[in-house]
Amino acid sequence: MTSFASPPRLVQNPESIDNPTLDFFIRYWNEKRGGRAMPARAAFDIRTIKDYLGWMCLLDALPDFTDFRYRLVGSRVADYFLGDGTGKTIRELFPGDDKPLGQAMLWVYQKTCRERLPLRISAPAGRWRGRHFPDTDALYLPLSKDGEVADMAMTIFTFNYEEYRKSMTTYSLTRSA
């Protein structure tokens, strides 16, 4: 079960962002799409984004956006979610008690790809699987080979990594919420 002090904040199609990493990506995404609705994944130069790979996820959209399969899960994202989901779908990664979180994530990716617009979601700190997780700030970007139909999504998922590492001490695992 997931618990947060307040609900996450969603901003659709932000023009600029006060988080430097997310602002870099929204500007880069807009630059790469040019006159198209969305850029293709191939438009992103790995040399330009390599310093951010640990914070990124790439997902393939399955038919009719019924699910999304993780193609890449960055090391920081894998740390935050307690494992690497590369090759798995959202539904496979969030079954049982985690299903509501998976459904929320699925909704975000569906909205991003159906509307072909970036979404920014800022979520407060919370508890999940009995552990404390710090605030997050994420940008969801649709990608398309043809510039019109989204076939992938890219997420840049940021959080205070040092706060997170401190929360993973033995003491933090035994304290109550």
How many whole angstroms separate alpha carbon 99 and alpha carbon 34?
37
Q: Which DSSP helix (H) or strand (E) runs through 47?
A: helix 46-49
| Residue 22, pLDDT above cutoff 90 | yes
Instruction: Report the DSSP beta bridge partners of residue 9.
Output: 122
Query: What's the pLDDT score for residue 128?
Result: 64
Please list the residues that pair with 123 across neighbouring strands: 136
Per the confidence metrics, is the pTM higher than 0.95?
A: no
pLDDT higher than threshold 50 for residue 175: no
Over 50: is that where the pLDDT of 82 sits? yes
For residue 49, name the pLDDT band (cuts at 50, 70, 90): very high
In order of 19, 123, 135, 161, the CA distances from 165 in angstroms are: 20, 18, 13, 6
| C-beta of residue 4 within 8 angstroms of C-beta of residue 126 | yes
**Sequence-separated (6 or more) residues with CB below 8 Å from residue 117:** 12, 13, 142
Burial call 45-81: b when 16+ CB within 10 Å, e when fewer: eeeebeebeebbbbbebeeebebbbbeebbebbbbbb
Look at residue 64 and tell me whether its pLDDT is greater than 80.
yes
Rounded distance, CA 22 to CA 156, Å? Answer: 7
User: Residues 66, 41, 116, CA angle at the centre, nearest 5°?
Assistant: 50
- Fold for 2-166, please state it: Beta-Lactamase (3.30.450)
Summarize pLDDT for 85-119 with one digit per residue, the tens. 899 999 998 888 778 888 999 999 999 999 999 99
